Amino acid sequence: MAPLHVAVIGCGLIGGSLGMALRMLPGCGRYVVHAFDREAGRAGEAVQMGAADVAAASIREAVAGADLVVAAVPAEEVAGTVREASSHAPPSAVLTDVASIKGPIVEALAGKTPGGQAFVGGHPMAGSERAGLVAADPFLFQNAVYVLTPVASSPPAAVQRVREMAEAAGAQVVTLSPEEHDAAVAAASHLPHVAAVGLVLAAEACARDGVPVLQLAATGFRDVTRLAMGHEDVWKPILMMNRARLVEALRAFRDALDRIERAVATGDGEAVQSLLQRARALRQAFRLPAKGYGRPIWDLVVRLADRPGAIASVAGALAEEGLNIADIEILRVREGEAGTLRVGFVSEAAMLQAVQVLRRRGLQAWPR
Ligand SMILES: NC(=O)c1ccc[n+]([C@@H]2O[C@H](COP(=O)([O-])OP(=O)(O)OC[C@H]3O[C@@H](n4cnc5c(N)ncnc54)[C@H](O)[C@@H]3O)[C@@H](O)[C@H]2O)c1
Ligand SMILES: O=C(O)C(=O)C[C@]1(C(=O)O)C=C[C@@H](O)C=C1
Task: Give the tens place of pLDDT for each residue, 122-169.
Answer: 999 999 999 999 999 999 998 899 999 999 999 999 999 999 999 999
What span, in angstroms and rounded, lies between the C-alpha atoms of 187 and 248?
A: 9
pTM of structure: 0.89
What span, in angstroms and rounded, lies between the C-alpha atoms of 299 and 367?
A: 6
Scored b (16 or more CB within 10 A) or e, 156-194 reads: eebbebbbebbebbbbbbbebebeebbbbbbbebbbebb
What span, in angstroms and rounded, lies between the C-alpha atoms of 340 and 363?
A: 11
Q: What is the number of the ligand 1 atom nearest to the C-alpha of 128?
A: 3
- pLDDT surpassing 60 at residue 291: no
What span, in angstroms and rounded, lies between the C-alpha atoms of 145 and 123?
A: 9
Least confident segment among 83-92, 266-275, 322-331, 336-345: 336-345
The per-residue pLDDT of the chain, averaged, comes to 93
- pLDDT surpassing 60 at residue 58: yes
Residue 74 Cα, ligand 1 centroid: separation in angstroms? Answer: 4
The pLDDT of 274-298, averaged and rounded, is 79
Contact 90, 66 (CB under 8 A): yes
Give me the pLDDT at residue 1, please: 76
- pLDDT surpassing 90 at residue 66: yes
Q: What is the number of the ligand 1 atom nearest to the C-alpha of 80?
A: 31
pLDDT digits 0-9 by tens, 188-211? 999 999 999 999 999 999 999 898
What span, in angstroms and rounded, lies between the C-alpha atoms of 321 and 354?
A: 8
| Residue in 37, 123, 148 to alter for ligand 1 test, most ligand atoms within 8 A of Cβ | 37
Residue 188 Cα, ligand 2 centroid: separation in angstroms? Answer: 9
What span, in angstroms and rounded, lies between the C-alpha atoms of 37 and 33?
A: 13
Residue 136 Cα, ligand 2 centroid: separation in angstroms? Answer: 14
- pLDDT surpassing 80 at residue 335: no
DSSP strand pairing (338-345 vs 94-97): unpaired
Nearest CA to ligand 1 atom 5: 127
What span, in angstroms and rounded, lies between the C-alpha atoms of 278 and 262?
A: 16
What span, in angstroms and rounded, lies between the C-alpha atoms of 95 and 109?
A: 10
Give me the pLDDT at residue 292, please: 52
**Smallest Cα–Cα separation from 121: which of 153, 94, 148?**
148
- pLDDT surpassing 60 at residue 245: yes
Q: What is the ipTM of this complex?
A: 0.98
Q: What is the number of the ligand 2 atom nearest to the C-alpha of 226?
A: 3
What span, in angstroms and rounded, lies between the C-alpha atoms of 26 and 15?
A: 19
Give me the pLDDT at residue 288, please: 64
Q: What are phi and psi of 301, to 5 degrees?
A: -120, 145
- Using pLDDT thresholds of 50, 70 and 90, give the confidence band for residue 295: low
Q: Which residues contact 265 (CB under 8 A, 6 or more apart)?
A: none
Q: What is the 3-state secondary structure (H, E, C) of 288-302?
A: CECCCCCCECEEEEE
- pLDDT surpassing 60 at residue 101: yes
The conformational region for residue 52 under phi > 0 = left, psi -120 to 50 = alpha, else beta, is: beta
Contact 102, 242 (CB under 8 A): no
pLDDT digits 0-9 by tens, 302-319? 998 878 888 999 999 999
